[in-house]
Structure 1
Amino acid sequence: MKKLLPLPLCAALLLASCNGPAATTAAPTTPEAQAKAAQDSLMAHHDRLMGQADRLIALAARLQASPTPPRPLLARMQAADNAMMSWMHQYSPPDSAAPAPQRLTYLQTQQRQLAGIEQQLTAALDSATAVARQLPADSAAPAATPKMRMDPKMKM
C-alpha cells in the first residue's frame, strides 16, 4: 500500500503544474487573433447582459402586479430592456473577409455600446430590486419566463 501512495501524489502535482503560470494564455498579438478575442469577449459580455435583462423582466412583472406600480421605474426598466433589444437587432457580426483591424475597431465600438447598456441595466436592476424588497410578500406576481420581453404597450 505504501508503494501506491506516491502515485496519486505525483498525479496531483502533475495536474497542479498544468494549471500554473505556463498554462496561462498570453494576450493575442496578431490582428486576426485580437479580432477573434474581441468577438469572443463581446459575445460573453452580451450573454452576461442577457442574464441581467432576464432578471429585469422578472422584476418588472412583479412590480407591475403590485398595488401601486412604480411607473417611472417601470419606464426606466423598459428603456433599459429596449436598449438591449435595439443593440441586438442592430448588431451584425463583422464580415470575416474584412481586414482584422477594421473588424477590431467595429467590435471595440460595439463593446463600448454594451458597456453603456450595462450601466443602464444595472441601475434599473438596482432600483427595481430595492423597490421589490419593500413590497409585501403576497403582492409577488409569478416571474416572467426568461424568453419573455417586456410588452411595449405595458402601462407605465
Structure 2
Amino acid sequence: MTSDYATAASFDKNGYCVFVTTRDTVVVFGATTNSFKELYRWKVKDSGTHSLIKGICMSPKGSVFALRSRGGKGGERILMFANSCKDGKPTIVFKDAVNTDTLFDDCAFSNDGEHLVAAMFGRAKGVLLLWTADQNFLADTLEGPNMEMTCMAYHPTRR
C-alpha cells in the first residue's frame, strides 16, 4: 500500500477481519491478531486504469462484499461484487449503461444476502437500483423525489 488514504472500512460478518479500501486497493487485516492478511488491487476491465473505490459493504452471510467505485477513463460508476473467502477478485460487475455520470451514494445487501440495492442522486431525482446478488440482473428501479440519500440499511427483521 502506498501513501493512499483509507476511503472506507468494514468488518466481516464475525468481526474477525477488517476490510480497508484505498484508491484502488482492498487490504484485509486480522482484527483479533492485528496482522495483515490479504491485499487486492482492483482494475476496471474495459479501461485498464485503476478505479477509485468510494465505499464497501459486506454481505450478511459474510462470504461476499460489494465496492462502490468510479473507474476508468470514462469515469463510469461501478458496483463490484467479490467473494471474500476465495481470491477477492470481482465475480460480478454491476454497471448502468444509461447513466454513467452519477456515482452511487451508498449500497446495502438485503438481510438474506440475495439482493443488493444502490442509491444515487442526480439529474434532480433520487434513484434506487435493486439487483439480484447472485447474478448481474437489475430487478427493479425506483425513482423518488429530489432528495439525496447518503446512507441506507435494510430493516433488521423484515425482508
Is this a same-fold pair by TM over 0.5? no
**TM-score w.r.t. length of structure 2:** 0.22
| Higher gyration radius (CA) | 1
Q: Which has a greater percent of strand?
A: 2
TM-score, structure 1 as length reference: 0.22
